[in-house]
Structure 1
Amino acid sequence: MRTVARVVLVVLVLACGAAPMLPVAGAVPSAVNIDDVTARKIDELLALRGSGRSKGELIELLSGQFLGTPYGAGMLVGSATEPEQLVIDFRRVDCFTYLDYVEAMTRSADRDQFVANLIETRYTDGRIDFLQRKHFFTDWSHTARIAATDITATLGPAAVTVDEHLNAKAGGGSYLPGLPVVDRAITYIPSAAVDENVIGRLRTGDYIAAYADRPGLDVTHVGIFVMTPTGPVFRNASSLATDNKVVDSPFTDYVRSTPGIVVLRAQ
């Protein structure tokens, strides 16, 4: 989405779109608004999945089909006072909806499964509700359905763990009114310590995030690690004026622009 040094997200998942609320955990909406472009893209990606690929290979394959997709800020709809809506829109993505779509797609064989898996990926216990939305990247490794494992601490001795109060602003108040403060230990690798040994422990398909060195947030941007024949890249929905779309950024260049990285490995 953007280089962290230039733009900082208040929260990762903000969005717009349409579809009815889902009041019952585990249920799938009887009607979901999906535009024609998105519907065709879903079917095309599902047809590509095939069989016999590892999780990382699927993430690489499917995420690559979004390269060039325009970046869109504020893609989700819902707040403590506005009903949450299920957004499925492949015409534009922000950094976290991009990961939502890719992760859900890796576990789906048809469109109905994709919708159900997207709900499970985006919302705790599969309930379409603002308070159940996984607003923070590390929610993926802490709340049901668990989408990934936090492997940051295993990447090297330089890993640092700090106690964060997610959603609490330093001067008081919260980033997201109505959402409780979440006390969570966040582990990151400082950018200066992301050397060849650390990169060598990463796998294609790992979810990479830029650690937030400010109170109340865990990370400020997310993307996907992909090892290519010419070196590692950070595949992400970039809001930089020079990009404004899903791109492959040189991994080491990106890391140097951040305070550090948090790494989740998809299950």
Structure 2
Amino acid sequence: MKNRLRFHFAYILPIRYPQRFIFSCLLILFGLLSVSVIAQTMPDDLRSLTVVGGKTLPETAVSIGKQFLGTPYVPNTLDINATEQLVVNLKAFDCTTYLETVLALSLAWHDLTDKQNQAQLNVLFRNYLTKLRYRNGAINGYASRLHYFSDWLRDNERKGLLKDVSGELPGCLSVAKPVSYMTTATYRYPHLSDPAIFKQMADTEAAISQQSFYFIPKKNLKQAEAHLREGDIIMLTAARPGLDMKHVGLAVRQGNRIHLLHASSEQGEVVITRYPLTDYVQWHKRLSGIRVARLKAPGTQPSPRPQ
């Protein structure tokens, strides 16, 4: 009987009290819209993130990076939309989205004037994520995303966000390596079925292929390891033809050795390598060595690139 009475009450409320009914509906609708807006502008996982900043950007990056330990590895999270737009996902990463997220949060935190202002942190974070991920910091279609890490590194060094220090480390070599992986493996990249986008990526590959760069081959890693710093951006170069970098992460110190903090496809989550970076690279036949970059404080002028 109680359930039946409640039903009749709900049924007659719109008829007897139309103003109250409309007002109640508006309140519910406003509440739902508010939740939707908050979810889009301030993800729950960002609100719950406790940022413990360091004295330097690299220290902050390591601190933030470790908070994501155990976060699942999920590939292709940036390709969920028909048109290119900023994707923010703090609940699943591949190696690139993990690194970009950690760096963007670190840069945003150091720019933040009021460390308690979550809304401002969110805006700065999204701005830096866009700046890191896209050529010239602007979203202009699929090809504007910095897919190749050689391209990513050069573009972000030009923006003044980081510095490529590979050429300053002992044992480094200068090489030029043609890249063609994306346009020769189009089955992995559905967007390349569009001829215009395919041409844009082919042009990008041609430009990258003409650029030389410094890297530390795996045989020289032992002598370079002593010069690596915690918080360095580590890019693991690919041994296979047509591909520049195969994996990325952050350098962290465990005891007196450098390990890699990264989103691991092998282990299915964000982890710190069990073995030192030098051993990790040596044991992986698909890796040829590393490149190294360091975050720079915002506003710092880019350093000249070694010739």
In which range does the TM-score fall when normalised by the shorter chain? 0.7 to 0.9
Check if 1:107 corresponds to 2:136. Answer: no
What do residues 115-139 of structure 1 show as CA deviations (whole Å, max 9, x unaligned)? 1111001111222231211112222
- Following superposition of structure 1 onto structure 2, how do residues 150-229 of structure 1 map, counting pairs within 5 Å? 150-156=164-170, 158-167=171-180, 173=184, 177-178=198-199, 179=201, 180=203, 181=205, 182=207, 183-195=210-222, 197-229=223-255
- Aligned letter for 1:41? D
- Check 1:131–1:78 CA distance in 2 against 1; reply closer, same or farther (3 A cut): farther
Q: Are residues 41 and 229 of structure 1, via their aligned partners in 2, closer, same or farther at CA, if it must alter by over 3 Å?
A: farther
How has the CA–CA distance of structure 1 residues 71 and 173 changed in structure 2, closer, same or farther, with 3 Å as cutoff?
closer
Unpaired runs of 5+ residues, structure 1, are 1-30
How far apart, in 2, do the equivalents of 1:190 and 1:32 lie?
A: 48
Superposed displacement of residue 154, structure 1: 1.1
5+ unaligned residues in a row in structure 2: which ranges?
A: 1-35, 113-120, 187-191, 193-197, 297-307
> How far has the Cα of 1:70 moved from its partner?
0.3
The TM-score, its normalising length taken from structure 2, stands at 0.66
Distance, in Å, in 1 between the alignment partners of 2:37 and 2:79 is 14
Query: Paired residue for 1:53?
Result: 55
Structure with the higher helix share, 1 or 2:
2
Q: Distance in 1 between matches of 2:163 and 2:243?
A: 19
Please say if residues 174 and 214 of structure 2, whose CA atoms lie closer than 8 Å, have aligned partners that are also in contact. Answer: yes
Q: Give the alignment partner of residue 293 of structure 2, picking from 255, 264, 267.
A: 264
1:153 deviates by: 1.5
1:124 to 126, 132, 135: 135
Alpha-carbon separation, structure 1, partners of 2:39 and 2:249: 24
Q: For the Cα contact (< 8 Å) 2:45–2:91, is it kept in 1?
A: no
CA contact (8 A) 2:237 2:289 kept: yes
C-alpha distance after superposition, 1:184-229 (max 9, x if no partner): 213211112111x311111111111211123332110111111123
> What is the CA distance between 1:62 and its match in structure 2?
0.6
SS in 1 for 2:215: strand
**Given that residues 215 and 290 in structure 2 are in contact (C-alpha distance below 8 angstroms), is that contact kept between their aligned partners in structure 1?**
yes
Instruction: Answer whether contact 2:230 2:253 (CA < 8 A) is retained.
Output: yes
Give the letter aligned to residue 100 of structure 1. E
**Contact 1:150-1:264 at 8 Å conserved across structures:** yes
Q: Which residue pairs with 2:153 in the alignment?
A: 141
Counterpart among 253, 270, 293 of residue 246 in structure 1: 270
* Map of 2:47 onto structure 1: 43
Task: For 2:45 and 2:90, locate their aligned partners in 1 and report how far apart those are by CA, in whole Å.
Answer: 7
SS of equivalent residue, structure 2 residue 178: strand
* Alignment partner of 1:76 is 2:43: no
> Structure 1 length normalisation: TM-score?
0.76
Pair 230,155 (structure 1): closer, same or farther in 2 beyond 3 Å: closer
Q: What amino acid is aligned across from residue 255 of structure 2 in structure 1? A: P
Identity %: 31
Structure 2 contact 98–263 (Cα < 8 Å) conserved: yes
